[in-house]
Amino acid sequence: MRSERGSTSVQMVILMPVLFLVMFLGLQAALFYHARTVAIAAAQQGARAAGVETGSSSDGIAAATSFVAAAGGSDVLENTSVSGSRTATEATVTVQGTALSVIPGWSLIVLQSATVPLERITTG
């Protein structure tokens, strides 16, 4: 059929960008999920380190920073900042950064926080 000559090329020109968009969005979602998982795990590790009886907020910050570095550092979470606080009853560590992006001009911010009660020795 002469009237259908070249129709495959036209279909590919229309469908290929859609296919690439779906693939890149899936990859971007996976990168964001992985960065989010690393950030919450680092925050939990830091909060546990800060929550021990002899711990401090700087111990928690150091533990969270070390965890992010061991998990891939800037290959997973760029521009990472870690903050922590310790009150009389609980320790909190927050990890913030930017997930890697395969889509130019699009950066997804990751912010995760973990809080644990402080360990205390009581006499009964």
DSSP summary character for residue 102: S
Report the number of distinct structural domains present in the chain: 1
**122 in a structural domain:** no
What is the residue range of 40's domain?
Answer: 2-117
Helix axes 57-70, 7-51, angle to 10 degrees: 150
Structure tokens that stand for 49 in this block: 């380190």
Quote the pLDDT of residue 95. 98
Residue 105 is predicted with a pLDDT of: 87
In a domain, 61, yes or no: yes
Domain assignment present for residue 123? The answer is no
Residue 13 lies in a domain: yes
Looking at the domain assignment, is residue 89 inside a domain? yes
pLDDT of residue 77: 95
State the Cα–Cα distance between residues 43 and 39, nearest whole angstrom: 6
Task: Give tens-digit pLDDT for 77-95.
Answer: 999 999 999 999 999 999 9
Tens digits of per-residue pLDDT, 28-74? 999 999 999 999 999 999 999 999 989 999 999 999 999 999 999 99
Residue pair 90/118 in contact (Cβ under 8 Å)? The answer is yes
